[in-house]
Structure 1
Amino acid sequence: MTAFLFARRAGKGVMAAVLWLSLATGAQAETLSFARAQVLAQQDAPENLARQAQLESAQFSVEPADALPDPQLILGVDNVPVEGADRYSLNQDFMTMRRIGLMQEVPNSDKRKARRSLAVATVGVAEAEQREMLLQTRRQTALNWLNVYYAEHSVALFDQLDLQISLLRATVQSLIAGGSASPTELLQADELALTLEDRRDQLQRDVAVARAALRRWIGAAATEPLVGNPPVFQLSVPQLHQRLHEHPELNAANARVGEANAALAEAIAEKTPDWGVGFVYSNRAPQFGDMVSLQFTFDLPMFVGSRQGPTIKARQQSVAQLEAEQEVLLREHAAELESGLAELEQLHKALTRTEKSLIPLASQRAELELAAYKAGNRQLSTVINSRTALIEAQLREIELKRQVSELSANLYYAYVESLQ
């Protein structure tokens, strides 16, 4: 008996230890705040890693861009006789020489400067595209985190409604017991419960979809429970208009125009001739003296119209194309900014009306209809309709908050965060 009690106490101790460990593990489980999601996206998103590699590649290309070509080693034999008694001899004929020397091609300074300018402009494009991708990553992560947050809040709303449906069923059952309601009315309450379950399933599906979209940017951490509230994005309308040209996509387009202009300058520099210098030491037989040679070479751009000219025209058209595309982007973003601000104002007004008027009225109506039903002055269908209207108003509030947060995030990461 004593052994049995000891074993029982030991079992309870083990169970307590296991319970403590599970609670400790749960307490240490990671949670996913908005700020942590942003950090994870910035560190782990493969798009950011690709853009960083692109930037480093461009930076490494700057230094050798204006360097001279590698020198050329000259090795040769001149004037080897192929007839007579000294044929194929390298040291009998006074004209036979063994040559060694160096040749250095020297591109003109304008071309070298243009090549370096083009390399620097390419770095500028890589930097702008890296910044654009970084902001896009943060924006997409923000939007997906917000989608998860509001989808889960919609599901939580239905969890609260379960209690209300239970209370409604209890009311109907008591009225049936009192003879003031028919049993078919209980079926109507059950039908409402089933309808809400279908709606809950749809919302849980939305949560899963939002989680999957968030996993696209931050990986496995997207499955962690959310913690904290959505951030409040501070937006100033005058500043948004002033920062229109600082949109990350416009910055990248501007950098590409600069790169195209640098490529045009390089094409123009091709018209200036390059030159080269060579030094050769010629060794002859001991009875003859050695010799040295010095030579210079110059390019002769005699056919500019058919060679360099078409390239220059092609680069000019590329510049014109990119400038036109830049103007297209500017107009598109100007229109998007105006429409976004108008939509944001409308959403704020709709949210205010929903919070201050629609939900209080729907809640009051639901309470009055329920009280009238209990007094025998209303049909249950009227109570169910009022309850459904209240649910829709509450879901509308959550959806409007989601739209406000989403649109504010889009504007923030386009015109505010881009300068920080």
Structure 2
Amino acid sequence: MSAFLIARCGCSGVLVVVLWVSFFLTAQAEPLTFARAQALAERSAPENLARQAQVESAQQAVLPSDALPDPKLILGVDNLPIEGPDRYSLNRDFMTMRRIGLMQEVPNSHKRQARRQLAEATVTRAEAEQRAMVLETKRQTALSWLDVYYAERRVELFSQLDKQITLLRSAVQALIAGSSARSSELLQADQDALTLEDRRDELDRDVAIARATLRRWVGDDASQPLAGTPPVLSLEVPHLQHRLGEHPDLRAAAARVGEANAELAEAVSEKKPDWGVEFAYNNRDNQFGDMVMLQFTFDLPMFVGTRQGPKINAKQHSVAQVEAEQEVLRRTHQAELESGLAELEQLRKTLNRTEQHLIPLSSKRVDLELAAYKAGNGQLAAVINARRDLIEAQLRKIEQQRQLTQLSASLYYAYVEGLK
């Protein structure tokens, strides 16, 4: 069918099809920037969808939480004879009545208020947990994207080094042809190239693993090429440590404390009696006349010590438990923030030394050893060792950059983004 249409449309039709296919492929291969990865994870990560459903469920439960129970319809027969000449008759005995009525149970006002507060506290807790999950998803996505970015940078570094090894091998061949080098030195260069290939395979493996982890958060878009560079995430927030209580995890913990207190209030409200009202219309035979009935019922919480009391004590212990867990979480995050900031400062200093001193020195050593070798005053092994040290220094720089940016992202999404 497509071939028939192209034939009918001629060259212009072919051009249209080609342009459309090109546009489609371009749209499909949209680069995966850091910001786009964050947006994809926030929108489609199943964890976030689950938390959103939890919030909506909690919100829907608020409205009926303090409503009265549904009324009950009463249908029946009172005082129906089952013996004697009038047995099973509905109209011979003046006491026999057909009853229809309504009954309404009314929980006490404290219980209804407590149920409303519990439902609202559940919404608050669900919203806090959803916010914490969104930030955790963004944090994990950031770490995964950075893993891919720096893994691919290491591969690119090795691609450049492959070219340098090829040039070095050509230089050795020229020296051998001029009787300035031995054939064994060419074998040594080949061995060094094989070692680098093994390392290259390891780096390719690291890229594949990083892509798989990123796919965990953004889906199939993880296969798209990365674009852009890691963002600069500022941790310069005034009084950051004093605002630790605003951390999403701690907000969620505070919400769980509020929910536990609401459950305690509901348990306490069980000590107050509920009541109910019942109205019935009693129909009798016409010769006797109809009757109505109105009655009230009241609960009698007479055994508080063995019924309501243990429930109240259990809820009090639950409140103590979540309060202790909240304090544990606060101390954990306090230690995490302080240690993270200290580690961040150390990484900055180490990276600065690598960039300012280690790499320039290693590069200068390569130049000196190579010049000495070409002049016949050095050994090829020294050149290879110097080049290997330069490779390690450059890889160390990339690894330090990865650690620095990942730690910055982890602290940012934990202690800065959550304050917005």
Q: Do both proteins adopt the same fold according to a TM-score greater than 0.5, normalized to the shorter chain? A: yes
Identity across the alignment (%): 70
Q: Which residue number corresponds to residue 158 of structure 1?
A: 158
Task: Tell me how far 1:25 sits from its aligned partner.
Answer: 6.0
User: How far off its partner does 1:26 sit?
Assistant: 5.7
State how far apart, in whole Å, the 1-side matches of 2:74 and 2:26 are: 75
- Whole-Å Cα distance in 2 between the matches of residues 207 and 396 of structure 1? 17
Return the alpha-carbon distance in structure 2 between the equivalents of residues 364 and 198 of structure 1.
26
* Preserved CA contact (<8 Å) 2:237 2:416: no
One-letter amino acid of the counterpart of residue 342, structure 1 = A
Deviation at 1:251, TM superposition (A): 1.3
Tell me the TM-score normalized by structure 1: 0.94
- Mean Cα deviation higher: 269-278 or 173-182: 173-182
Aligned-partner residue type, residue 144 of structure 1: S
Is the CA contact 2:151–2:206 (under 8 Å) kept in the aligned structure 1?
A: yes
Aligned to 2:202: 202
Q: C-alpha separation between the residues in 1 aligned to 2:26 and 2:273?
A: 74
Partner Cα distance (2:243, 2:360) in 1: 40
Question: Structure 2: how far apart are the matches of 1:119 and 1:21?
Answer: 53
Taking a change above 3 Å as real, the CA distance of residues 247 and 295 of structure 1, as seen in their structure-2 partners, is same
Q: Which residue is 2:346 aligned to?
A: 346
In structure 1, C-alpha distance between the alignment counterparts of 2:267 and 2:295, rounded to whole Å: 28
Residue 247 of structure 2 is aligned to residue 243 of structure 1: no
Partner in structure 2 of residue 296 of structure 1: 296
Does residue 1:141 correspond to 2:141, yes or no?
Answer: yes
Offset from partner CA, 1:319-361 (integer Å, 9 cap, x none):
0011001101111111111110010000000010111111011
| Cα distance change of structure 1 residues 25 and 79 upon mapping to structure 2, 3 Å threshold | closer
Q: Partner of 1:90 in structure 2?
A: 90
* In 2, Cα distance between equivalents of 1:19 and 1:111: 70
Aligned-residue RMSD, C-alpha: 2.0
Question: In 2 relative to 1, CA 18–124 (structure 1 residues): closer, same or farther, beyond 3 Å?
Answer: closer
**Separation in 2 of the partners of 1:125 and 1:49?**
16
Letter in 2 for 1:353: R
Q: Distance in 1 between matches of 2:150 and 2:247?
A: 28
What is the DSSP-based 3-state SS (H/G/I as helix, E as strand, rest coil) of the residue aligned with 2:88? Answer: coil
1:157 positional shift: 0.3
How far did residue 240 of structure 1 move? 2.6
Question: How many Å apart are 1:89 and its aligned residue?
Answer: 1.0
**Which residue in 2 is equivalent to 1:7?**
none
Give the TM-score normalised by the residue count of structure 2.
0.94
How far has the Cα of 1:83 moved from its partner?
A: 2.5
In 1, Cα distance between equivalents of 2:229 and 2:100: 77
Give, in whole Å, the separation in 2 of the partners of 1:103 and 1:16. Answer: 78
Q: Secondary structure at the match of 2:240?
A: helix
1:130 aligns with 2:125: no
What is the rounded CA distance, in whole Å, between the counterparts of 2:58 and 2:96 in structure 1? 50
Shift of 1:22: 7.8
Aligned length: 409
What code does the residue aligned with 2:91 have? N
Q: Secondary structure at the match of 1:296?
A: strand
Distance in 1 (alpha carbons) for counterparts of 2:141 and 2:18:
36
Aligned to 2:180: 180
SS in 2 for 1:85: coil
1:133 partner letter: M
Deviations 1:213-244 (A, max 9, x none): 00011111000000000111011164431331
Aligned 8 A contact 2:158 2:200 in 1: yes
TM-aligned CA distance change 1:387 to 1:18, over 3 Å: farther
Report the 3-state secondary structure (helix = DSSP H, G, I; strand = E; otherwise coil) of the residue aligned with 1:355: helix
Q: Which residue in 1 is equivalent to 2:395?
A: 395
Q: Structure 1 residue 86: deviation in Å?
A: 1.8
| Residues 309 and 375 of structure 1: CA distance in aligned 2, closer, same or farther (over 3 Å) | same
Distance 1:23 1:383 in 2: 48
| Residue in 1 that maps onto 2:330 | 330
**Post-superposition shift, 1:88?**
1.4
Which blocks of at least 5 consecutive residues in structure 2 are unaligned?
1-11
